[in-house]
A and B are shown apart, each in its own frame.
Chain A
Amino acid sequence: MTNIVTYKKTMLFIQELLKDKIVIYVGDLIVSYLTEVTKNSYGTLQVVDTELDFISVATGMALNSFKKITVVFDDNYLFKHYSSLIQASASRCKNLFFVLLVTNNYLAQLKQPNLYKSVGSVNGMLFELGFLTHIYTRFFKNRKLFNELKDTYYNFIGPAIGIIEVNNNKYHVNTSKVYVNSKLFVDFVRYAPKEDVEGTESDSTSLVIKEN
C-alpha cells in the first residue's frame, strides 16, 4: 500500500501536468475530481458515460492532426474497450498518449476487485501491443518527484501509456451536472497552435479560434 498514491492528489497533479492541452477525461469518478479550472478549459472533454469508446475517437484525432492528444481513464475502461487500444497501438501515432489510473475496483462504492490483478501483467500486455509503457506511480508521491515528470512528460513519443496505481478508499461523488461545450472543444482541436511532436511546445496563450 505504501507505493500507492491518493486519488485526489493524483488527479490534481494530472490536471497540472495536462493543463491547456487536448485531454479527454473518461469515467464518472475521474470527472468528479476535476477542478473548475479544468472543466472550463477549451481543450478538455469530460465523459461520464463509460459505454462510449473515446480511445478510438482520440486515435482518429491523432491520425488526422499533429497535436498531442491525451486520454485519462481507469482500468475498468481499459478492459471494456481493449479492442480500441489494439487499434491505437497499430496506428503508431507519435502524438497519442494515455494515462491509466489503476484502482483495482469495478465501482468505487462497491469495492469489488476487477480483473487487473488476475491478468498476469497488464504492463507487459500493453508493451507487447506496441505502447511505450511507463509506471508513473512514484512520480505522484510528492511535488519534487512530480516536477521531474513534468519536465520530461512532453518529450515522450507515443503511442505511450502511463500507469498510476491510486488508492481509492474514499468515494467522491459530485452531484452537479457535467457541462460539456463540445463546440469549443472541436474548435480548440482544429485551430489551437500546432505542437511539435518531438516535444517543444508552442505558446498556448496565443490561441486564436477562427470564426466559421
Chain B
Amino acid sequence: MEFWKCLYEELGSVFVSGVPSGAFGTLINTMDSSYMHFVPAVSDEVAIGLCIGAFTAGIKACVLVEKNNLVLLKEKIKRMKYVLSYAIIIITNGDINFLNLKHFKFKFVGLNDYVYKGNNSAIVVL
C-alpha cells in the first residue's frame, strides 16, 4: 500500500500492467484503485507493450516483470526503443545485476523527473 501511495505521490496517476504471478502476490494484494489502474496481462511481453502504448498516449506507466522473464525480454525491450521512443518503469524482484542492462539506469528517488522528463526507462528492484 505504501509503495503504491509513494508512486502515486511521485508520478500522479499511474497505469500498471503485469502478469498476476506469485512473485508479486504481496504487492498485487496491496493495490488500491484510488492510486493506480491495474490491467492484468496474458504475458510479460504483452504487459510491456500495454505500458509502452500507455506512455505513447501520455499516461505514466509501470510494468511488473519477473526477474527470469526480464532476461528473455531484454533484447525485445532494447529493439522496441529503436522504433518507438518510450519511458516506462519496470518493477522486478531479486538481483538483476547479472542482466547487464546498460541502457537502463538505476534511480530510486525523483522518478518523475528522471524517467518521464528525460525519456529514460528505469528499473525498480523489490
Interface residues of A (CB under 8 A from B): 45, 47, 49, 51-65, 83-84, 86-87, 91, 180, 182-183, 185-186, 189-190
B45 cross-chain contacts in A, Cβ below 8 A: 53, 56, 83-84
In the complex the two chains form, what is the Cα distance from A91 to B45 in whole Å?
16
Shortest C-beta distance, A55 to chain B (Å), equals: 7
Shortest C-beta distance, A211 to chain B (Å), equals: 14
**Main SS at interface, chain A:** helix
Which residue of chain B lies nearest to A60 when distances are taken between CB atoms in the complex? B53
9 closest A-B pairs by beta carbon, nearest first, are A60-B53, A56-B49, A60-B50, A64-B57, A61-B53, A65-B57, A57-B53, A190-B58, A56-B46
A63 cross-chain contacts in B, Cβ below 8 A: 15, 39, 50, 53-54, 57
Shortest C-beta distance, A144 to chain B (Å), equals: 37
Q: Determine whether the beta carbon of B49 is less than 8 Å from that of A59.
A: yes
In the complex the two chains form, what is the Cα distance from A190 to B52 in whole Å?
13
B 18-57 contacts with A by CB, 8 A: 39, 41-43, 45-57
Total A-B pairs in contact (CB under 8 Å)?
96
Which residue of chain B lies nearest to A54 when distances are taken between CB atoms in the complex? B49
Interface residues of B (CB under 8 A from A): 15, 17, 39, 41-43, 45-59, 61, 76, 79-80, 83-85
Q: Determine whether the beta carbon of A180 is less than 8 Å from that of B50.
A: no
Q: Determine whether the beta carbon of A83 is less than 8 Å from that of B54.
A: no
Q: Determine whether the beta carbon of A64 is less than 8 Å from that of B85.
A: no
Which residue of chain B lies nearest to A46 when distances are taken between CB atoms in the complex? B83
Kindly list 9 other residue pairs between chains A and B, CB separation below 8 angstroms, not including A60-B54, A190-B57.
Answer: A52-B83, A57-B53, A60-B55, A61-B53, A64-B53, A180-B83, A185-B56, A185-B84, A189-B56
Of B51, B53, B55, B59, chain A has the most CB atoms within 10 Å of the CB of: B53
A51-B85 in contact given A59-B53, A60-B54 (Cβ < 8 Å): no
B56 cross-chain contacts in A, Cβ below 8 A: 57, 60-61, 185-186, 189-190
Shortest C-beta distance, A134 to chain B (Å), equals: 24
Of A57, A61, A189, A190, chain B has the most CB atoms within 10 Å of the CB of: A57
Shortest C-beta distance, A182 to chain B (Å), equals: 5
Q: Determine whether the beta carbon of A183 is less than 8 Å from that of B49.
A: no
